C-alpha cells in the first residue's frame, strides 16, 4: 500500500481550516437557501435504493470541493480498493477486511467459492427451520439468538426492521447481556421442545455468550427438550469450541469478517430464518448495489464518501461532538444501537495506524431513538440546547403491513404514515429555520444542521443498502483520519480486569488484591 499523508498534513486540511474561518463557521443555512434556489438539487444525492438530502448541512460547494481533495490526498480511494481486493488493511490484527466479499456474486471477490458454499448451507438450514414452523411432528415456534456486540446488534436490528416480511409462526428472540435477567425473561416465555438456539460468537469465547449458552443448555435439558444437537446450532469461526459445547451443526465464517460487519455472514442466520433465503439474498443484493456505488462513483457523487467527509468536517472543524440518528420508521428502533457499535467501535481511536497519538478528534458520539419518540424526549435540546448536534432523519415513504394483518391495522398504517412523515419533515425544517421570539425561552436559534434520507420502502434490499452505506461512511472517515477502523483493542482491558475481580466477588481476600481504594470499597459494598 502506497503511503499517504495523514489528514492534518495535507494541503486540503489547511485549505479547509482557512475556508472554515472565512465562510464555514458562520454559514447560515437560511441565507444559503435564499442565495441559491437550486441548493436542494445541488446537494441532493441519488444512491442505490435511496435519496439523500445534504442541503440542510453547513456546507457549500467550496466545502465539498476541499473535502473531496482531502479524500484524494489521504488516499481514501486507494484504501477502499485495497479493502475490496482483500489486502490486510486491518494492520494491528494483520487481517483482511472482506465483509463486501459476502455480498459479491459468485467469482467476483476473494474466497468466492467458500463464501457461496457456506451461504447456501446456511440458507438451506434457514428454510428447513421455516418449514418446521409450518407444522409437522416437532414444530418450532421460537428461535433464540445468543450473542453480543456484532453477534447480536446487526441481526437484532435487521430482524426488527424486516418484521413485515418475517415468518408469521416464528418468534425471534435475542439474548445478549451477561445479566441473567436478560435470558430469564426469554426462557420464561418459551418451551424447550419448540425452540432453536443459535449460539452466535465469532470467537466462541465471549464471556456473556458462553454464560448464556450454558444457561440455555441447562434449562433445555432440565425441561426435557430432547437432543442438544437438534436444538442448538452455532455461527462461529471456532468450530472446535462449538463442538466441545455439544453443537454439531456449525455455520462458519473467517477472521476477515469483523464482528460489527458480520450480519452478512453466518451471524445473519436469524435474519435468514425470519425473512427466508430469498429475503436474505435481497438484503445482500441491496448491500452489493451500495458496494458498487462506493467502488465506482466519483467522490463528489459517492454518498458514503460524502457522508464520511461531512462527518470529518463537523468533527474536526466545527467541533461537533455528537450526531443524533432519528429513524422515522419504528422498525429501525435498534438502528442507533447498531450504529453505536459500528461507528464508535470502528472509529473511536486515539492513535493513527503508526501508533502516533492523534492531535485531532475522531468518532463523534452516535445516539438516537426512532421518531417520533425522540421528539418527546431530547429534541428540546436539539432545538434550544447549547450544543449544535447534527441530526440524521431517515424517512420511509410507504409503510408495510405484516401478511395477514386486518383492515383496521392496514388503514391506520397508511393514515399514520402521513403523520409520521410530516413530523420528520417538520423537525428538520424547525431545526434549520428556528423562530425569532422576543421571549428568550421561546426563541429558536435555528441554523441547526440535518441530513435526510428518503427510502421508498423498508425492504430487505433497501435495508441492505442502508447498512452498507453506513459501513462505507465509517470506512471513509477512518481512512481520512488514518486510523485502523477494524480493530477494537479498547474493549480488552475491561474484560481482563473483570476476570480478576470475579473471584473477589465470590469471597477471595479483597485486602490482599492490591486494588485502588474505590474499586476495593465498591467491592465490599456489592459483595453479599
Ligand atoms: O466487544 C468486543 C467484541 O469483540 C465485538 O467486536 C464483537 O462484536 C463482540 O465482542 C462479540 O464477539 P464474539 O462474536 O466473538 O462473541
**Helix, coil or strand: residue 206:** coil
Q: Model confidence over 319-341: pLDDT tens digits?
A: 999 999 999 999 999 999 999 99
Protein residue with least CA distance to atom 9, ligand 1: 149
Task: Verify whether ligand 1 is closer than 6 Å to residue 149 (CB atom).
Answer: yes
pLDDT per residue as tens digits for the range 357-375: 999 999 999 999 999 999 9
Ligand 1 midpoint to CA 202 (Å): 7
pLDDT, tens only, 412-464: 888 999 999 999 999 999 999 999 999 999 999 999 999 999 999 999 999 99
The long-range contacts involving 239-248, CB below 8 angstroms and separated by at least 24 positions, are 241/204, 241/205, 242/199, 242/204, 245/199, 245/204, 245/213, 245/217, 246/217, 247/199
Give, for ligand 1, the residue of 95, 97, 147, 148 to mutate: max count of ligand atoms closer than 8 Å to Cβ. Answer: 148
404, pLDDT greater than 80: no
Q: φ and ψ at 284, to 5 degrees?
A: -65, -40
pLDDT score for 467: 98
Contacts of residue 459, Cβ cutoff 8 Å, sequence gap at least 6? 162, 165, 282, 286, 400
- The answer to whether 522 and 387 have CB atoms below 8 angstroms apart is no
| Average pLDDT of the residues in 47-52 | 98
Q: What is the DSSP letter of 362?
A: -
Q: The dihedral of CA 45, 50, 55, 58: what is its sign?
A: negative
CB-CB contact of 88 with 94 (8 Å)? yes
pTM, 2 dp: 0.97
Task: State the DSSP H helix or E strand holding residue 335, giving kind and residue range, or none if neither.
Answer: helix 335-339
Nearest C-alpha to atom 16 of ligand 1 is from which residue?
201
d(CA 476, CA 289): 18
- Report the percentage of the chain scoring pLDDT > 90: 94
The three cell numbers of residue 173 are 428472540
Cα of 207 from ligand 1 centre, angstroms: 10
Work out whether the CA dihedral 201, 204, 205, 211 comes out positive or negative: positive
Helix (H, G, I), strand (E, B) or coil at 87: coil
Residue by residue, DSSP assigns 52-76 as EE-TTSS--HHHHHHHHHHHHHHTH
The pLDDT score that the predictor gives to residue 410 is: 86
Which of 90, 147, 177, 202 is the pocket-test mutation for ligand 1 (most atoms within 8 Å of CB)?
A: 202
What phi and psi values does residue 451 have, to the nearest 5 degrees? Answer: -120, 140
Looking up cell 465483509, which residue turns up?
A: 99
Q: Which residue has the cell 388503514?
A: 411
CA 98 to chain centre: 17
**Dihedral, CA of residue 331, residue 382, residue 417 and residue 302, to nearest 10:** -70
Using the predicted structure, report yes or no on whether residue 528 has a pLDDT greater than 80.
no
Residue 400 clears pLDDT 90, i.e. is over it: no
Closest ligand 1 atom to residue 345 Cα is 6
Residues designated catalytic: 345, 376, 495
Amino acid at each position: 500500500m502506497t503511503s499517504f499523508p495523514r489528514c492534518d498534513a495535507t494541503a486540503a486540511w489547511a485549505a479547509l481550516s482557512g475556508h472554515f474561518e472565512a465562510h464555514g463557521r458562520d454559514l447560515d443555512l437560511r441565507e444559503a437557501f435564499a442565495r441559491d434556489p437550486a441548493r436542494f438539487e445541488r446537494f441532493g444525492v441519488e444512491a442505490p435504493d435511496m435519496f439523500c438530502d445534504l442541503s440542510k448541512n453547513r456546507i457549500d460547494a467550496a466545502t465539498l470541493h476541499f473535502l473531496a481533495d482531502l479524500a484524494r490526498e489521504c488516499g481514501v480511494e486507494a484504501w477502499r480498493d485495497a479493502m475490496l481486493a482483500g489486502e490486510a488493511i486491518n494492520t494491528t490484527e494483520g487481517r483482511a477486511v472482506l465483509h463486501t466479499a459476502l455480498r459479491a456474486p459468485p467469482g467476483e471477490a476473494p474466497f468466492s467459492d467458500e463464501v457461496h458454499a457456506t451461504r447456501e448451507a446456511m440458507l438451506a438450514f434457514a428454510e428447513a427451520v421455516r418449514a418446521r414452523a409450518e407444522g409437522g411432528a416437532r414444530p418450532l415456534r421460537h428461535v433464540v439468538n445468543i450473542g453480543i456486540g456484532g453477534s447480536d446488534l446487526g441481526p437484532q436490528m435487521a430482524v426488527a426492521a424486516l418484521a413485515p416480511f418475517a415468518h408469521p409462526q416464528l418468534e425471534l428472540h435475542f439474548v445478549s447481556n451477561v445479566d441473567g435477567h436478560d435470558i430469564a425473561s426469554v426462557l420464561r416465555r418459551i418451551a424447550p421442545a419448540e425452540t432453536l438456539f443459535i449460539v452466535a460468537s465469532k470467537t466462541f469465547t465471549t464471556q456473556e455468550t458462553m454464560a448464556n449458552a450454558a444457561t440455555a443448555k441447562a434449562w433445555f435439558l432440565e425441561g426435557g427438550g430432547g437432543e442438544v444437537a437438534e436444538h442448538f446450532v452455532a455461527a462461529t469461526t471456532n468450530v472446535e469450541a462449538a463442538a466441545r459445547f455439544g453443537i454439531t451443526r456449525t455455520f462458519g465464517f473467517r477472521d476477515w469478517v469483523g464482528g460489527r460487519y458480520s450480519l452478512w455472514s453466518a451471524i445473519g442466520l436469524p435474519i435468514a430464518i425470519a425473512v427466508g433465503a430469498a429475503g436474505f439474498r435481497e438484503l445482500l443484493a441491496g448491500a452489493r448495489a451500495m458496494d458498487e456505488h462506493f467502488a465506482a462513483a466519483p467522490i463528489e457523487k459517492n454518498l458514503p464518501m460524502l457522508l464520511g467527509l461531512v462527518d470529518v468536517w463537523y468533527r474536526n472543524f466545527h467541533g461537533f461532538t455528537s450526531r443524533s440518528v432519528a429513524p422515522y420508521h419504528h422498525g429501525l428502533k435498534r438502528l442507533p444501537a447498531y450504529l453505536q457499535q459500528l461507528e464508535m467501535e470502528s472509529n473511536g481511536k486515539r492513535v493513527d495506524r503508526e501508533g502516533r497519538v492523534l492531535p485531532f478528534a475522531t468518532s463523534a458520539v452516535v445516539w438516537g431513538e426512532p421518531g417520533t419518540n425522540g421528539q418527546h424526549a431530547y429534541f428540546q435540546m436539539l432545538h434550544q440546547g447549547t450544543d449544535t448536534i447534527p441530526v440524521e432523519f431517515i424517512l420511509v415513504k410507504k409503510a408495510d403491513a405484516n401478511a395477514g394483518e386486518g383492515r383496521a391495522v392496514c388503514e391506520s398504517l397508511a393514515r399514520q404514515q402521513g403523520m409520521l412523515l410530516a413530523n420528520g419533515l417538520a423537525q428538520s425544517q424547525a431545526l434549520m429555520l428556528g423562530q425569532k421570539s422576543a421571549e428568550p425561552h421561546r426563541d429558536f436559534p435555528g441554523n441547526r444542521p440535518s441530513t435526510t434520507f428518503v427510502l421508498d420502502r423498508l425492504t430487505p434490499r433497501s435495508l441492505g443498502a442502508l447498512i452498507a452505506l453506513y459501513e462505507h461512511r465509517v470506512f471513509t472517515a477512518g481512512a481520512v483520519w488514518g486510523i485502523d477502523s477494524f480493530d477494537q483493542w479498547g474493549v480488552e482491558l475491561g474484560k481482563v480486569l473483570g476476570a480478576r475481580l470475579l473471584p473477589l466477588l465470590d469471597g477471595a481476600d479483597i485486602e490482599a488484591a492490591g486494588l485502588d481504594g474505590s474499586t476495593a470499597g465498591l467491592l465490599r459494598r456489592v459483595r453479599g
